[in-house]
């Protein structure tokens, strides 16, 4: 079979730029070169798209090379080169990458792409929309409220009372659109709430406040289009601090432990996998995604969130769970790209 050309798109404007670079390096290093020819397309921190040649030079020069300015898509090369690819692998985390924007651009170019489509990506990025959808689908989720900037800033007292009546303490305040725990605070009491709101509002106009759920953090890897499957082995994150914040996710000295498999009973793991399937389908995900839960000591599972572009280095949870379930990293990448091509052929990319 002739090799097919894959545009690996990474970097971008979000706070998760660095993480994206790491994911992309791993993916590009592991793609099966007998099946796929890699065309790296880097997006700088300011949103400028680099041509394949510029991207290769920047990759060789190191992460700082992606700091340069320039307008989005101003580079002549990038779009034309994207157009010459058979399939795209978007690995831009966060805003403009994971939220449906990049997927929309790819729809318009007509190039099949890996992972969730426009709508599922948009919902996946917005914790308020996502929670509403899960609740509607009968998925157990933590009690929560959604507040907008004017409600929080206009009359702080009213917002606080609303949170106390509907959610209580401890609670988690989050920017509705976010990732990597950026802007998230655990508020243990009334005193914490003001600062917690401000931290969330620094990143978004909309704040989600959620009741804190006691339990292990369990993650499930999904793969598939119309008939998705959950990886046989589910994983567990054991943060080395109060919750899984930015540093416990990425700091070099983080003591966070990834347990594969999770330290839960087999029947609990089975229920989590079934719930993960329901959440994936409720959101209309395609290709792949990682679905996260809290599991209480009594085995009760609460849906937390779906990540449509999860961390993708070879040691990230998403690929590790597939590896532990018998699907090695390289084959997983081929499966994801084949699913993209299959969806493209159906013309059902949205
Ligand atoms: N309702 C909750 N109960 C307990 N812990 C929570 C809750 N919400 C968030 N957390 C903690 O904060 C982390 C990040 O929250 P999450 O909603 O997953 O946002 P992100 O999209 O940034 O990963 C979680 O992994 C967990 O450690
Ligand atoms: Mg999370």
Which has the minimum average pLDDT: 89-93, 116-120, 176-180, 272-276?
Answer: 176-180
SS3 283: helix
Percent of the chain with pLDDT over 70: 97
210 Cβ closer than 6 Å to some ligand 1 atom: yes
Check whether residue 257 and residue 154 sit in a common domain.
no
Check whether residue 164 and residue 256 sit in a common domain.
no
217 Cβ closer than 6 Å to some ligand 1 atom: yes
pLDDT at 65 over 80: no
Mean pLDDT across 4-24: 91
70-95 burial by CB neighbour count: b if 16+ within 10 A, else e? eeeeebeebeebbeebbbbbbbbbbb
How many angstroms is it from 244 CA to the middle of ligand 1? 7
| Atom number of ligand 1 nearest to Cα 142 | 1
Check whether residue 9 and residue 47 sit in a common domain.
yes
Check whether residue 21 and residue 153 sit in a common domain.
no
**What pLDDT is attached to residue 32?**
97
pLDDT at 350 over 50: no
Q: 128-161 pLDDT, tens per residue?
A: 999 999 999 999 999 999 999 999 887 678 889 9
Check whether residue 267 and residue 324 sit in a common domain.
yes
Check whether residue 287 and residue 276 sit in a common domain.
yes
**What pLDDT is attached to residue 8?**
97
Residue 258 near residue 320, CB atoms below 8 Å: yes
Check whether residue 134 and residue 263 sit in a common domain.
yes
180 Cβ closer than 6 Å to some ligand 1 atom: yes
For the chain, the domain total comes to: 3
How many angstroms is it from 189 CA to the middle of ligand 2? 23
Q: Output the DSSP codes for 74-102.
A: -SHHHHHHHHT-SEEEE---STTTTSSHH
Q: 301-314 pLDDT, tens per residue?
A: 999 999 999 999 88
Mean pLDDT across 16-22: 88
| Atom number of ligand 1 nearest to Cα 179 | 22
Check whether residue 276 and residue 341 sit in a common domain.
yes
**What pLDDT is attached to residue 251?**
79
**What pLDDT is attached to residue 167?**
97
| Domain extent at residue 323 | 123-139+214-346
Residue 44 maps to a domain: yes
Query: What is the C-alpha separation between 194 and 191, in angstroms, rounded?
Result: 7
| Atom number of ligand 1 nearest to Cα 292 | 18
**What pLDDT is attached to residue 19?**
87
Most informative mutation of 14, 172, 213 for ligand 1 (most atoms within 8 A of CB): 172
Give the ligand with the smallest distance to the CA of 211. 1
**What pLDDT is attached to residue 169?**
96
Check whether residue 64 and residue 165 sit in a common domain.
no
Query: What is the C-alpha separation between 106 and 110, in angstroms, rounded?
Result: 6
**Which among 211, 239, 269 is the end of a domain?**
211
Which residue has its alpha carbon closest to ligand 1 atom 25? 244
Provide φ and ψ at 277, rounded to 5°: -60, -45
Among 109, 113, 44, 107, CA closest to 72: 44
Residue 118 maps to a domain: no
**What pLDDT is attached to residue 72?**
58
Point out which residues pair with 230 in neighbouring strands: 222
Residue 313 maps to a domain: yes
- By the 10 Å C-beta count (0-12 exposed, 13-18 middle, 19+ buried), 141 is classed as buried
Which residue has its alpha carbon closest to ligand 1 atom 8? 172
Query: What is the C-alpha separation between 289 and 294, in angstroms, rounded?
Result: 17
Which residue has its alpha carbon closest to ligand 1 atom 1? 212
Query: What is the C-alpha separation between 85 and 77, in angstroms, rounded?
Result: 13
275 Cβ closer than 6 Å to some ligand 1 atom: no
Question: How would you classify residue 216: left for phi > 0, otherwise alpha for psi between -120 and 50, otherwise beta?
Answer: beta
**What pLDDT is attached to residue 349?**
46
Check whether residue 291 and residue 236 sit in a common domain.
yes
Per-residue pLDDT band for 69 (boundaries 50, 70, 90) equals: low
Query: What is the C-alpha separation between 96 and 99, in angstroms, rounded?
Result: 6
pLDDT at 254 over 50: yes
H/E stretch holding 235 reads strand 235-238
Which has the minimum average pLDDT: 71-85, 114-128, 157-171, 175-189?
Answer: 71-85
Most informative mutation of 93, 126, 183, 243 for ligand 1 (most atoms within 8 A of CB): 243
E strand residue ranges, 248-350: 257-259, 288-295, 301-307
Cα→Cα distances 102→80, 116, 119, Å: 16, 11, 12
Check whether residue 86 and residue 135 sit in a common domain.
no
* CATH number for the domain harbouring residue 194: 3.30.1490.20
Check whether residue 178 and residue 326 sit in a common domain.
no
* CATH number for the domain harbouring residue 28: 3.40.50.20
Question: How would you classify residue 94: left for phi > 0, otherwise alpha for psi between -120 and 50, otherwise beta?
Answer: left
Residue 103 near residue 118, CB atoms below 8 Å: yes
Among 184, 229, 233, 211, CA closest to 296: 211
């Amino acid at each position: 079979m002739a090799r097919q050309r894959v545009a690996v798109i990474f970097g971008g404007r979000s706070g998760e730029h660095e993480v994206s670079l790491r994911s992309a390096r791993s993916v590009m290093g592991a793609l099966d070169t007998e099946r796929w020819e890699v065309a790296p397309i880097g997006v700088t921190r300011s949103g400028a798209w680099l041509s394949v040649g510029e991207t290769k030079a920047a990759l060789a020069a190191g992460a700082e090379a992606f700091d340069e300015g320039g307008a989005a898509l101003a580079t002549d090369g990038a779009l034309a080169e994207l157009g010459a690819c058979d399939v795209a692998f978007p690995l831009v985390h966060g805003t403009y990458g994971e939220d449906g924007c990049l997927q929309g651009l790819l729809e318009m170019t007509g190039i099949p792409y890996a992972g969730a489509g426009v709508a599922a990506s948009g919902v996946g990025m917005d914790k308020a929309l996502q929670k509403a959808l899960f609740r509607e689908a009968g998925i157990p989720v933590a009690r929560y409220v959604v507040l907008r900037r004017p409600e929080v800033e206009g009359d702080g007292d009213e917002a606080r009372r609303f949170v106390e009546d509907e959610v209580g303490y401890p609670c988690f305040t989050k920017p509705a659109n976010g990732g990597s725990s950026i802007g998230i605070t655990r508020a243990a009491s009334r005193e914490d709430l003001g600062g917690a709101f401000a931290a969330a509002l620094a990143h978004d106009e909309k704040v989600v406040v959620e009741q804190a759920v006691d339990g292990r953090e369990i993650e499930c890897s999904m793969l598939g289009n119309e008939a998705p499957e959950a990886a046989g082995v589910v994983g567990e994150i054991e943060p080395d601090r109060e919750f899984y914040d930015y540093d416990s996710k990425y700091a070099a000295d983080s003591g966070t432990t990834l347990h594969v498999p999770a330290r839960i009973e087999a029947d609990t793991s089975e229920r989590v996998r079934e719930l993960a399937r329901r959440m994936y389908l409720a959101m209309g995900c395609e290709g792949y995604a990682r679905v996260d839960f809290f599991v209480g000591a009594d085995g009760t599972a609460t849906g937390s969130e779906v990540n449509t572009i999860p961390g993708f280095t070879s040691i990230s949870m998403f690929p590790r769970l597939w590896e532990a379930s018998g699907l090695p990293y390289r084959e997983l990448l081929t499966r994801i790209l084949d699913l993209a091509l299959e969806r493209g052929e159906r013309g059902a990319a949205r």
